Every structure is written in structure tokens, then in C-alpha cells.
Amino acid sequence: MAVRVGVLSTGMQKFESKKQATLDEMIFDVMQKALSEADLSIADVGGVVFGSAVDGFVGTEAPELQAANALGREGIPSLRVSTSGSTAISTPNLGYHWVASGKADVVMVVCFDQMSPCGSPQAVFNTVYDESYIRPIGLNVPIQCGMEARLFLHHYGHTEMQMAKVSVKNHANALDNPYAQVGMRLSTDDVMASPYISWPVKRLDTSPTSDGARAILFAREEIVRERKTSPVWVKGVGQAGDSAWFMGRTNSNLGRLDYAYEAARQAYEMAGVKDPSREIQVAEIYDPFTYKEMQHCEAMGLCEEGGAGRMIDDGISERGGRLPVNPSGGLLGEGNPIGAGMSRLCWLYLQLAGEAGPCQVPNQPRLGVSCGWGGMYQYSAVMVLGRDD
Amino acid sequence: MATYIKIAGIGVRVGGEAMPHRDMLYEAVREAYHEAGVTRHDIDTAVTVSSDLAEGRSLANQYTLDSIGGVMRPFDLRLANESLHALAAGALELHAGKGRRAVVAGVLRSSDMEDLRAGMTDLVGSRLHLHYERAVADSFPGDLEIAMAQMMQREGGGPATTVAAPHIDVAVALVLEAGDSADGVILSGIGWHDRSGWQLSHYERSVAAAAAAARRWAGNPLTPSWVEVPAYPPVLVEASLRALGLSRSPVEVNPSRLDGQAQGNHMLEGLLWTASSVKRLRGLQAGTVAMVQSWQGPGTASTAVALLLKS
């Protein structure tokens, strides 16, 4: 029987397009905030899991070793996870397993990325493609996203206007988020008039590049109960991936994220969730592009397959809606330092703990889901958090 | 929660002049699955290790999933540290009840670096702190690799030598199996310690801490019959033995390299030597212990120690 694992605290900082801090300083900042909030010192931490998406952003091979130097205590064992965007959840998944294994009582998870030093994050992203088969055809992230979004809209009958509504919602939500990079009041006309990056994805359908870090502390049940009157527990985890060679997948509909459905299925099974559209009360899900939030709403079972357009049209996913999605602003509004997309999980914890401040959703939620997405448009990691039943 | 972690299957593919990464890894994993008597459907979680810079593309790990049989399976955990760290992550997942079996695997083709010395210098240089250390590196005489060797020599490490190992193309896979009874070769304990660092003293402190953690995990001060330790540059052998407290011990040093395995400071050393030690342990009597110590490579003081027990 695995050890029960809860969340003790988070460490947050403002995301910025170019942060005036070194990687070490960013990490030290969020780590100290998480420790301070939990009333712990670094001596109490039994292990650290670092997550960052791509070494090329930071410009350093094995940046986790510099990060380890920033902890202020030599000798803490650490592990590093790197799964591109899904680092956001696959890293805390490993932190959860570390505590659940009984091999450490308290584990800190620190996710970070500093995209500004590389000058051109898209140039770094271009290096993820296979040098023999993919790079020669000129595929890059915007083009691939455009292809995927077109298929998604076409297959399910969703529209660019519905994508624009997601942008309006998340950018407005970010206005209440003190750590957000691009909170703003937009109209759907603004979004629709913004230039195409790769049809149907427009500039305002896209999250910005960012620098920033997040920390979260996991601990075994006894420690969590000592410090928290309304503990938030890790209820379920899941992860799955499809082939990196997208032209060879068995599912030819690239608009349907089979692997995300599978990762969600695992996490819900572990959490005992039978009908997520009724049981999940708040979601902080991966939205580097507007259509990605819609895809993830469907894959996480927050609505039926093909129901994401209706969710945004009917206001279900608004902060005051029946099932709020990204009430903190998501990556679109808060910023997107890829690995530090773990911010979605941090905000989910804050919502369930009732500590989300101006971003708090009404009717104190007790169960929520977060997810990350990454790689060659191929893998997903999911975590379900919840309070005691 | 699992009581024991058995190493149920190993697969090694050394050399691969005309073979891409994915095929090398596939062959090693297939061999490990075959030896463990399992298929990909029997595997519950996976950890892979790779290097973006050595492989020449970012997110190198994303391409491992197909080779390990991970498509639409629930084991998409990917790690980028040195390889014994990956072994530790796999063991943690099994102890946490993630499932019964894990595969831990990695692949490296250093022959892809046309100029290995230049490649190593780039790799080591890229580990330098962006703001503090790279400015200093500009003042190093000659290339960075030689400067590092000289630095180690100044600390009593013997004659200056290059730290770049010969080319090695290798893929390694281990199948871990959780259970309540100890039979075969088990991973008795594993510990690791991480930081960047240039000095031999950093390295030794890291090894000592990793070994202490491995013994704590094992819950038993196991005495190894042999140790596998990094040997490039050669100064590291003595440094490792000192840090492990085995300088005056009759312990065998580096006896179980598989045929054709070049020594080198590459990220797969730990898994490779674990595989070769498991193979050797299988033919020995119960109670025999082997210790494997690895290093993430120049520019780091990130090390790990695994204790393997024939039960």
C-alpha cells in the first residue's frame, strides 16, 4: 500500500518575458517561498525533482545541477524530468511517487524555464524534429499546431470564434492573477483580428514566451495533517504517450488526443472518479493555444467528445460557471515558461485549499484536475487533487 | 508497497555503426524483455535516459517511446539525468505501487560526434554556468577538456590526461520487477547526490554521500565483492575508492566489463555496469554483493551508487 501523499505549499513568482534574474535566483526564490509557507527549512526536504522542458532554452546542459546549487544545502538527492510541455505534470508525478514509495517524507518539485537567453525559442523548438525525416520538410511548431487545430475544428465542428472566446476568458482571468504576464481585457473581435500565425491559430490564440519558476511541496499524510486543517491530497496520476512519428499513428485523426484520454483514464481510475464532467469541480489544464484548452476539456472528460465548443459558448468554463477551466488565466494569460507550466497544478491546489484570492471560484471546490501536454504532440500527464470526502 | 526489486532482464547493444538510435534501443529492450520473459504489455512504467546535446536534437527522449514499446502504454516517464538516476526513479515508482514491472533504458551514439574531442568540449562547456563560469572558461589555456584535467591534476590526481573517452555507441535496458520474495539479483539499495562541480573534492564528497544513501536504502552495510567505478580520467578510480571507503579493501575493481565495452565518462556507464554486474552475479553464490558507482560526467559532481545482491 503506497503512502498517502498531500500538498503542503507552493512557491510562485511573476512570469515575465525577460526576467532580470539568473536561473539560480529564480529557483531560490520559489523554493524559499514554498518552504516558508509550509514552515519548513531545506533541511526537512528529503529529495528534489527538477523539471525543465528543453536544455536549449536555458542554454545549459543539465541545468538541474546549477539548480541544485541554488538549494542552499548540499547533499539533497535530486532527479530531473524533461518531457517538454508535459514536464508541467510529469515532474510532480515523479515527486508524488517518491513520497508514495516511502523513501522520503517531504519532496520538493521545482519546475523552471528561462526562454529569453536563447533569443529565439522557436529556433530551439525547431531542433526537436528528427533531422533526417522531419526537418527537411520545414515543419515547425506553429505549422504543426495549425494542422492539428484545423483537424480539430473540422472533425468536431468547432469554430475560430469559440477559440477566440477561450482567449478572451483566459486573458481576462489573468487580470486577477498577481503572477500573470499578459492579463488583459479583450473582445472576440480583437482576437479574430489578430494576425494568423498558422491558420486557424492567431497571435492572440497563443501563449507568450516567458521566464519563470514554480515550486510545490509534497509530503506524507502525517506531516500534511500536522500542518493543514483542510488537506489537499493527490488522488490520482496518469501518463501516456503516442508514437513520436505522428505520420505512423494508428489514429489518423490528429485532432483527437488519444494519449491524453488514456492518461486521464488512469488518473480518474486511481482517484475513483466515474464521471469527471459531474465530479470534477475545477480544472487547470494545459492551454498553450486556445484550441488546446478545448482539446483538453474533451480529453479530460470535462465534457463529451466534441463538446468543448458548447462549454465555452454556454459559459460553463467561466470562473463563475458550472465547471471553471483555468480561472487563473491559464498559460495564455499567465505566461508559458514551458516546464513551469506546473503553475496549473499550483493554482489547482490553491483553488482546492481556498487560497486562490481574487481568482478563487465560487462554491469551494473539493476535486479538480490538471494536465500537461508535450513532446512531438504525443504525450500527456495528468494529476487529480482533492480534499477529504 | 514492494519489498524487493529484482533485475529480471538485461539487454545491451554495443556498437551500431550503421544503426540509428531507435534501432539500437529497440534491440537492447527486446533482449531485456525476452530475458525477463515479458512483452511490452507486461510493463507498467518506464524511465529513459538520453542527452539532447549528444544526440543532436532537443527532446531526444521523446523518440525513445516507440523503441521501448511504450506507445499508448501508461509508462511515459522520461528522465534526462545520468543513468543510475533513471534506475532510482524506476525503483521509486515500483516501491510506490505504480505497477509490477518497470523498464529503465537509454541509448547513446557518441560516434555521431564527428570530432569527439570538440564534441566533449562543447558538452562540458555547455554545462558551465551561463553567467559566472563561461567568462572564466574563456581564459582557460587551450581547450576546456585539458583545463579540466589540469585542474584535477593540481588536486593530486596524477598526470594530466584528457577526460574525453573513446567513442562508444551503446544501448542498455533493464527490466525491474517488484515482489515480496527475494530471488535472483536484487537492487538492494541505491543512492545519489547532485551538484555541479569542477573539483575532485566535489566529486569525492558526492560519491561518499551517494554511497551512504545507498546503504541507508538497503538498511544493511553490505560489503561488496567488487566495485565498478568511473575510470576516465584514471584519477577517478582512486578518488572513488577513497570516497567509498574501499582504498584499503581487497575489493576487486572494475572486473565485470562486458566484452567490447569501452570505458568512458558517458551517461550510460551506470546502467551498463549494472547490466554487466548482474550478468556476473547470476553465476555466483547467494549473498554476493556488487557495488556500481557512476558519474554524470565532466563539469558535474553528480554521482550515484547502486548495491546489487545475489539472493
For a pLDDT cut of 70, what percent of chain B falls above it?
Answer: 76
B135 at interface of A, judged by CB pairs closer than 8 A: no
Round to whole Å and give the CA distance between A290 and B52.
29
- Nine-digit cell string for B285: 553464490
The sign of the dihedral angle between the CA atoms of B19, B22, B28, B31 is negative
For residue B301, pLDDT over 70 is answered with yes
Residues of A in contact with B70 (CB under 8 A): 241
Query: Going by DSSP bridges, is the β-strand pair B303-310/B289-295 parallel, antiparallel, or unpaired?
Result: antiparallel
Nearest CA of chain A to the CA of B283: how many Å?
A: 31
B119 at interface of A, judged by CB pairs closer than 8 A: no
The band of B116, judged by pLDDT with boundaries at 50, 70 and 90, is: low
Round to whole Å and give the CA distance between B218 and B307.
8
For residue B20, pLDDT over 80 is answered with yes
Do B65 and A244 make contact, defined as CB atoms within 8 angstroms? Answer: yes
Residues of A in contact with B78 (CB under 8 A): 81-83, 90
For residue B213, pLDDT over 70 is answered with yes
B79 at interface of A, judged by CB pairs closer than 8 A: yes
A55 at interface of B, judged by CB pairs closer than 8 A: yes
Which of 350-369 (A) contact B at CB < 8 A?
none
- The minimal CB distance from A101 to the residues B65, B72, B92 is found for B92
A9 at interface of B, judged by CB pairs closer than 8 A: no
pLDDT at residue number B142: 45
* Residue A36 backbone class (left: φ over 0; alpha: ψ -120 to 50; beta: rest): alpha
Residues of B in contact with A259 (CB under 8 A): 72, 76
Nearest CA of chain B to the CA of A150: how many Å?
A: 24
Query: How many CB atoms lie under 10 A from the CB of residue A151?
Result: 16
pLDDT at residue number A171: 98
Does residue B68 contact residue B101 with C-beta atoms inside 8 Å? no
Do B209 and A60 make contact, defined as CB atoms within 8 angstroms? Answer: no
B93 at interface of A, judged by CB pairs closer than 8 A: yes
pLDDT at residue number B267: 80
Do A240 and B93 make contact, defined as CB atoms within 8 angstroms? Answer: no
Nearest CA of chain B to the CA of A378: how many Å?
A: 8
Round to whole Å and give the CA distance between A380 and A368.
17
pLDDT at residue number A294: 98
pLDDT at residue number B291: 97
Q: What is the DSSP string of chain B?
A: --SEEEEEEEEEEE--TT--HHHHHHHHHHHHHHHHT--GGG--EEEEE--HHHHTSTTGGGGHHHHTT-BTSS--EEE-S-HHHHHHHHHHHHHTTS-SEEEEEEEEEGGGSSSHHHHHHHHHHHTS-TTTHHHHHTTSSS-HHHHHHHHHHHTT--S----PPPP-EEEEEEEEEEESS--SEEEEEEEEE--B--SHHHHHHHHHHHHHHHHHHHTS-PPPSEEE---SSTHHHHHHHHHHT-TTS--EES--PPTT------TTHHHHHHHHHHHHHTTS-TT-EEEEEEE--TTB--EEEEEEEE-
Do A94 and B77 make contact, defined as CB atoms within 8 angstroms? Answer: yes
- The minimal CB distance from A97 to the residues B98, B127, B130 is found for B98
pLDDT at residue number A225: 97
Round to whole Å and give the CA distance between A385 and B171.
38
Do B129 and A65 make contact, defined as CB atoms within 8 angstroms? Answer: no
**pLDDT digits 0-9 by tens, B36-51:** 999 999 999 999 988 7
Using alpha carbons only, give the angle A345, A72, A14 rounded to the nearest 5 degrees.
40
Give the nearest chain A residue to B131 (CA atoms): A22
**pLDDT digits 0-9 by tens, A45-82:** 999 999 998 888 887 777 887 787 788 777 789 999 98
- The minimal CB distance from B213 to the residues A77, A79, A241 is found for A77
Nearest CA of chain B to the CA of A362: how many Å?
A: 35
Which of 174-233 (B) contact A at CB < 8 A?
191-196, 205, 209, 213, 217
Nearest CA of chain A to the CA of B122: how many Å?
A: 10
pLDDT at residue number A61: 76
pLDDT at residue number B160: 45
Do A64 and B81 make contact, defined as CB atoms within 8 angstroms? Answer: yes
Do B196 and A69 make contact, defined as CB atoms within 8 angstroms? Answer: yes
- Nine-digit cell string for B177: 520487477
A90 at interface of B, judged by CB pairs closer than 8 A: yes
Query: Higher model confidence: residue A314 or residue B132?
Result: A314
pLDDT at residue number B55: 76
Query: How many CB atoms lie under 10 A from the CB of residue B254?
Result: 16
Give per-residue burial for A66-99: e unless 16+ CB within 10 Å, then b. Answer: bbbbbbeebbbbbbbbbbbbbbbbbbbbbbbbbb
User: Helices B144-154 and B116-126, interaxial angle, to 10°?
Assistant: 70
Nearest CA of chain A to the CA of B253: how many Å?
A: 26
- What CA–CA distances, in Å, run from A216 to A285, A346, A357, B292? 17, 7, 18, 32
**pTM value?**
0.94
**pLDDT digits 0-9 by tens, B215-244:** 999 998 789 999 999 887 777 888 999 999
pLDDT at residue number B143: 47
Round to whole Å and give the CA distance between A115 and A211.
6
Do B65 and A243 make contact, defined as CB atoms within 8 angstroms? Answer: yes
Do B58 and A127 make contact, defined as CB atoms within 8 angstroms? Answer: yes
For residue B34, pLDDT over 70 is answered with yes
Does residue A95 contact residue A345 with C-beta atoms inside 8 Å? no
Nearest CA of chain B to the CA of A254: how many Å?
A: 14
- A interface mutation test: which of B26, B47, B62 has the most A CBs within 10 A? B62
- A interface mutation test: which of B78, B82, B85 has the most A CBs within 10 A? B78
pLDDT in tens, chain A (389 residues): 689 999 999 999 999 999 999 888 999 999 999 999 999 999 999 999 999 988 888 877 778 877 877 887 777 899 999 888 999 999 999 999 999 999 999 999 999 999 998 888 888 888 888 888 888 888 888 899 999 999 999 999 999 999 999 999 999 999 999 999 999 999 999 999 999 999 999 999 999 999 999 999 999 999 999 999 999 999 999 999 999 887 778 787 889 999 999 999 999 999 999 999 999 999 999 999 999 999 999 999 999 999 999 999 999 999 999 999 999 999 999 999 999 999 999 999 999 999 999 999 999 999 999 999 988 888 899 999 999 97
- What CA–CA distances, in Å, run from B175 to A86, A289, B106, B257, B263? 25, 38, 12, 19, 23
Residues of B in contact with A98 (CB under 8 A): 92, 96
| Amino acid code (one letter) for A282 | V
3-class SS of residue A351: helix
Residues of A in contact with B61 (CB under 8 A): 82-83
For residue B260, pLDDT over 50 is answered with no
**pLDDT digits 0-9 by tens, B76-85:** 677 767 889 9
Do B78 and A90 make contact, defined as CB atoms within 8 angstroms? Answer: yes
pLDDT at residue number A124: 87
| Amino acid code (one letter) for B87 | L
Section B114-120 average pLDDT = 58
- B interface mutation test: which of A57, A103, A134, A139 has the most B CBs within 10 A? A103
pLDDT at residue number B145: 53
pLDDT at residue number B200: 81
Asked if the bond preceding B233 is cis, omega within 30° of 0, the reply is: yes
What number of C-beta contacts closer than 8 Å exist between A and B?
186
User: Helices A87-100 and A343-353, interaxial angle, to 10°?
Assistant: 60
Query: Higher model confidence: residue B209 or residue A65?
Result: B209
